[in-house]
Structure 1
């Protein structure tokens, strides 16, 4: 008997769930407009999240290039430069040190620039000797900046420059973007709640007579509330699916130009779509928001409708 009651209970839920989906299907214009609003609201933070994660992927690939270049004074000899490089190798917060003489710097620039004839006309070598330092990757930005100041204070050094300062700025922008996306996701989630809540409120007002009759014959608030909750669930779930489809289409459109740009820079970067994660996150997030919005609307307006 208990199993039969559970079976009947689940069967009624399935019937109400399918009936609610049928109600949406019979109102295609209104349903489509509501789903479009919900889909856009869910798409915006999801799209920004995917873009931010791909930017983090790019910065992560260049993590090893976080090097410090020491440009030595012109009067510093190559022998003294090599001795300084050996001294710096013993510093605990430095992983690797390499010395490049002024002549080696000129030869490298000659090969890269292709300006051999122009460089031959120069009266002297304009390029300084360079010591390239690779600090420990585990160091925080403050520790690397402190190391940079210590190196810049050396008497032999004319200029100490962090080669990837722009990458650190990019990381700071990423952190700001993460917080911005979080705020945007919260605000748009509230907008989804309001949209679904208002939609359910209008549905309740349109069915006031039906609700009064159900209550008059003994229907409980739980029984009356059930179809509206499933309606909110369908709105949120289908809006999440729509947002996922729109996200994939958007990424498909921009993936070609991004691949071409990566090829121009000889990069192995490929756009990560996060399709599997978004397929789970967007519909489930929409479903939860839909149920919450419907529950708030029903709880507020259902008690005000009583049989007279």
Structure 2
């Protein structure tokens, strides 16, 4: 019984299961959390950018056909955001604008003034790729030349602030992504190397009895690949659990991450766990097979 137990401990390709899986899972979990943060930030940024609007005020006394014509012209422009194939344009009549104003203020200014001084307005949502300050200035100028348009406005300071913050966030996220990926790879690599350290003499013994390099590597690589894949699956399960828990605390949070993006993140975690485990094990085995006996000690 004792001999069997001792044999199992020295079995070729075996090394501490729990510690390796725990360490690799933890590294991949941290990577997944940061990936989730990136997805959420990017989608939140996109959502903010998709709500940047240009307001087009029309001349008074335009006929319904003239208003429809202006709307069609604007709908055909590339800079107008499209969602589901539909241009994101909203026409608000001066009557609707007056009604909204009275609901918000509680004052009937139309009766007080004896007239409605407001104008019909067409609100245009601008595609994110056209939201640079120079592009918006050109769009404003172009719309201003359309017959029937009285004035074109947008909140310039807000757009500039959004673009500035988006650039800052992008630089920070890219930097942290590179650093974190390096840390995760190094951590997994060192974990596997430490786990294989206890097998170095067994590897040398196999070499001495004539075992080929491929024969020695095969059980280690198979086990490392399985450990990496298992760790990836555990890390993915933890990420999904954190996402569900966060949704309970912050309603609507899960809507900021698309299902296809989550699947890509899941696949990336599994792939990193599998590849890093395989490559690290291959490099460590190769190193130990080339060492002299004195170096092994």
Which category of TM-score, normalised to the shorter sequence, fits these structures? 0.5 to 0.7
How big is the shift at 1:43? 1.6
Q: 1:301 to 1:215 in 2, by over 3 A?
A: closer
Determine which of 184, 188, 200 is the counterpart of 2:180: 188
- 1:77-226 to structure 2, matched below 5 A, reads 78-79=60-61, 85=67, 88=70, 91=73, 93=76, 98=91, 100-101=93-94, 105-110=97-102, 112-113=103-104, 115-116=106-107, 119=109, 128-132=118-122, 134=124, 140-141=130-131, 145-151=137-143, 160-162=152-154, 184-226=176-218
Q: Aligned pair in 2 of structure 1 residues 202, 156: CA closer, same or farther (>3 Å)?
A: same
Distance 2:69 2:265 in 1: 52
1:11 is matched with which residue?
none
Q: SS in structure 1 opposite 2:121?
A: strand
Which deviates more from structure 2 when the two are superposed, residues 288-297 or residues 247-256?
288-297
Structure with more contact order per residue of length (Cα contacts < 8 Å, sep ≥ 6) = 2
Relative to 1, partners in 2 of residues 1:86 and 1:202: Cα closer, same or farther, differing over 3 Å?
closer
Shift of 1:206: 2.5
Q: 1:232 aligns with which of 200, 207, 224?
A: 224
Does the 8 Å CA contact 2:53/2:125 hold for their aligned counterparts? yes
Count, aligned residues: 272
Aligned counterparts of 1:198 and 1:270: Cα–Cα separation in 2: 35
RMSD: 4.9
Q: Is the contact made by 1:71 and 1:130 (CA closer than 8 Å) also made in structure 2?
A: yes
> How many angstroms apart in 1 are the aligned matches of 2:194 and 2:265?
31
Report the Cα offset of residue 240 of structure 1.
1.0
Unaligned runs of 5+ residues in structure 1 are 1-17, 263-268
Distance 1:270 1:200 in 2: 36
Residue 181 of structure 1 deviates from its aligned partner by 5.4
